[in-house]
Amino acid sequence: MNNHSKTANNKAQAPVRAARPRIKDKRSAILQAALKVFAEGGVNGVPMPVVAQEANVGTGTIYRYFESKELLVNELFREQKIAINQRLYGDLDLQRPTRELFDEVWRRMVLFTREAPHAYRFMELQDHRPYLDEASRQLEHEALAPILAQYRALQKRGVFRADLRAEVLMTLVWGAFVNLIKAERDGHISLSDADIDAARDACWSLCTG
Amino acid sequence: MNNHSKTANNKAQAPVRAARPRIKDKRSAILQAALKVFAEGGVNGVPMPVVAQEANVGTGTIYRYFESKELLVNELFREQKIAINQRLYGDLDLQRPTRELFDEVWRRMVLFTREAPHAYRFMELQDHRPYLDEASRQLEHEALAPILAQYRALQKRGVFRADLRAEVLMTLVWGAFVNLIKAERDGHISLSDADIDAARDACWSLCTG
DNA sequence: GAAAACCGAATGAACATTCATTCAAGTACA
DNA sequence: TGTACTTGAATGAATGTTCATTCGGTTTTC
């Protein structure tokens, strides 16, 4: 289905060439538009023509780049998963003191929810789960592995409490963070910087016992 | 189909209103069926005829008791919200030591997810949120008030850390719990009793600093 | 000017809701 | 009590709507 694949170019003898003009352009316009409208209305709540309109593209054009809505959602999910992981955990200097690293990651998470609310919301959406294929689920799992390893290492070093499994610890912290942001978005709470820092400290307590 | 209901009435004199016999019966059959299928497939994923079938009732019958799918979802939400709150926080002896109370509520939460998975799943579902009306949202807010008051009281007594607002603390704990259960249901984790107790202790640490 | 990309109206499937009909239970009258 | 008539709950096929996807015609590119 997809197929980027630059038809071997350069060689003159290849008559295949043809035109593959603004592929990248429209394709990413569609992805970006989908991210926005899906984040706002949920995957099930948004018809394809709305995605097309947001992308300034004809409805049919979407199907030139994505075989179906389902495939579009999956591509979007994978693209975002990778970008987010890079953003949250990339370029971390693991030599720094643990507490500083913890604070830095927390800061990045908050920043991410502020600067890329659509991306964050889309990934936290539940209603696209039934759409996700094996590759997406696989990627989701892989993306978590390095962080899990960090938790384990910190337990072994005695920094984090070791009376529960690293998976459980990580799940608790992530859930606490996600629900905090959700409460704010749902209008149940309004969060000051102090609130966010205090929440971070509380999660640190959770980890260290 | 069913129907027992032997025209009670003894009084001869009241020729009043015909019969309104099995109302309660079908109405709750429909609610129960809806809870089950919505929990499994999401509100958007399940057509009304499927609800009807699960309830052993004609599709049209649903509309005798509920004006629309939206109203059905709202009634279900409110009914469950009340039942759950009673189940989690009802009959608590507030005189007992705080830690015992905390453990007891945690125990009830876990038990609830085990014994009434449909009810729990339905309430955690995100995809019915757009359906919820003002009354449902209001109820959701009210249901939280007493628990919030407890958190506040515990902060005042110095049991819980007081460097963050009670709303934030409560949100963190609830999020941690919900995500733990979600991870298990999604197959990311499998939880032993020991895991669950350890998670509880970690959340206690979160609260007490 | 041919090939590819693009478009959006048309299509058909799936859905929420309606309504003409059925029929069990209730009532009236003997 | 037995029989004819009334009522309205129950039904599910029919209706109108919404949506993902397709397709024939148009524009762009080389």
CATH number for the domain including B16?
1.10.357.10
Instruction: Indicate whether B24 pLDDT > 90.
Output: no
**pLDDT-wise least confident of B1-15, B34-48, B59-73, B157-171:** B1-15
CA distance A132 to A137: 7
Separation in Å: C18 C1' and B153 CA:
54
Query: With an 8 Å Cβ cutoff, is A180 touching chain B?
Result: yes
pLDDT at A19: 36
| pLDDT for A127 | 85
Query: Does A171 contact B165 at a Cβ distance shorter than 8 Å?
Result: no
pLDDT at A62: 95
Q: Does the beta-carbon distance from A173 to B176 stay under 8 Å? A: yes
On whether any CB of chain A is under 8 Å from the CB of B164, the answer is yes
CA distance B81 to B140: 7
At B20, the pLDDT band (50, 70, 90 cuts) reads: very low
Is residue A23 pLDDT above 90, yes or no? no
Residue-level pLDDT at A3: 32
Reported as a pLDDT band with limits 50, 70 and 90, residue B85 is very high
**A38, A151, A186, A206: best to mutate for the B interface, most B CBs within 10 A:** A206
pLDDT at B187 over 80: yes
- For the cut 90, the answer to whether the pLDDT of residue B10 exceeds it is no
Do A60 and A98 lie in one domain? The reply is no
The residue among B47, B66, B85 that closes a domain is B66
Q: Does B47 touch chain A (CB under 8 A)?
A: no
Q: Across the interface, do A127 and B44 touch by the CB < 8 Å criterion?
A: yes
Residue B19: pLDDT over 80: no
Interface check B161 vs A, CB under 8 A: yes
Does A12 fall in a domain?
Answer: no
Domain annotation covers residue A9: no
For residues B93 and B179, membership in a common domain is answered with yes
Please state, in angstroms and as integers, the Cα–Cα distance from residue B163 to each residue in A77, A127, A197, following that order. 37, 36, 10
C-beta separation of B148 from B166 below 8 A: yes
CB of B61 nearer than 7 A to strand D: yes
Tell me which residue has tokens 């999020």: B175
- A13 within domain boundaries: no
Residue B52: domain span:
1-66
The mean per-residue pLDDT over the stretch B95-103 comes to 95
* Number of C-beta neighbours around residue B196 at 10 A: 20
Largest Cα–Cα distance of chain B, in whole Å?
Answer: 71
Q: Has residue A191 got a pLDDT over 50? A: yes
Q: Does B19 touch chain A (CB under 8 A)?
A: no
The answer on A199 and A158 residing in a single domain is yes
Q: Is B188 on the interface with A (CB under 8 A)?
A: yes
C1' of nucleotide C7: residue with nearest CA: A58
Provide the CA A181 distance to its chain's centre, in angstroms: 15
**B70 CB-to-strand C distance under 7 Å:** yes
Note whether B152 and B146 are within 8 A (CB). no
Token digits of residue B183: 């991870």
Compute the mean pLDDT over every residue in chain B, rounded to the nearest whole number: 87
Query: Residue B2, SS3?
Result: coil
Q: Which of A134, A123, A204 is nearest to A169 (CA)?
A: A204
pLDDT at A20 over 70: no
Examine the fold and report which residue of B19, B35, B66 is the final residue of a domain before the chain moves on.
B66
Shortest CA gap A115–chain B (Å): 22
pLDDT of residue A12: 29
Q: Is the pLDDT of residue A164 over 80?
A: yes
Set of chain B residues whose Cβ sits within 8 Å of the Cβ of A205: 161, 205-206, 208-209
Is residue A5 one of the residues assigned to a domain?
A: no
Whether A95 shows a pLDDT value over 80: the answer reads yes
- What CATH number is associated with residue A55? 1.10.10.60
Q: Are residues A153 and A194 in the same domain?
A: yes
The answer to whether B3 CB sits below 7 Å from nucleic acid chain C is yes
Kindly report which listed range (A28-42, A92-106, B125-139, B189-203) carries the lowest average pLDDT score: B125-139
Mean pLDDT of B158-183: 97
Question: Does the pTM of the predicted model rise above 0.85?
Answer: yes
Average pLDDT of chain A, as a whole number: 88
- Residue for token pair 């394809």: A48
Task: Indicate if A129 and A98 belong to the same structural domain.
Answer: yes
pLDDT of amino acid A25: 86
Q: How far apart are CA B184 and CA A183, in angstroms?
A: 22
Residue A172 CB partners (closer than 8 Å, separation 6+): A206, B176, B179, B180, B199, B202, B203
For chains A and B, CB pairs below 8 A equal 128
Q: Per mean pLDDT, which range of A155-169, B18-32, B61-75, B147-161 is the poorest?
A: B18-32
Q: What tokens appear for B79 in the block?
A: 């009914």
Radius of gyration of chain B measured on its C-alpha atoms: 21
Looking at the structure, tell me whether residues B99 and B130 fall in a common domain.
yes
A chain contacts of residue B113, beta-carbon cutoff 8 Å: none
Domain-embedded: residue A117: yes
Same domain, B24 and B95: no
Q: How far apart are CA B201 and CA B82, in angstroms?
A: 27
Runs of H (alpha helix) within B55-192: 59-65, 69-89, 98-115, 117-124, 134-156, 166-185
Are both B74 and B28 inside the same structural domain? Answer: no
Using the 3D structure, point to which of B25, B43, B66 is the last residue of a domain: B66
Give the separation between CA B32 and CA B56, rounded to whole angstroms.
11
In chain A, positions 12-31 with C-beta closer than 7 Å to nucleic chain C are 18-23, 25-26
Position A141 scores a pLDDT of: 92
Q: B108 near B87, Cβ under 8 Å?
A: yes
B170 and B185 in one domain?
yes
- B176 contact residues in A (CB cutoff 8 A): 171-173, 175-176, 179, 206
A57 and A31 together in one domain:
yes
- Shared domain check, A102 and A151: yes
Nearest to A130 among B45, B125, B169 (CB): B45
Q: Is the pLDDT of residue B205 over 90?
A: yes
The answer on B51 and B77 residing in a single domain is no
Nearest CA-CA partner of A136 in A88, A83, A75: A75
| CB-based contact, B130 to chain A, within 8 Å | yes
Domain count, chain B: 2
**Letter for the amino acid at A40?**
E
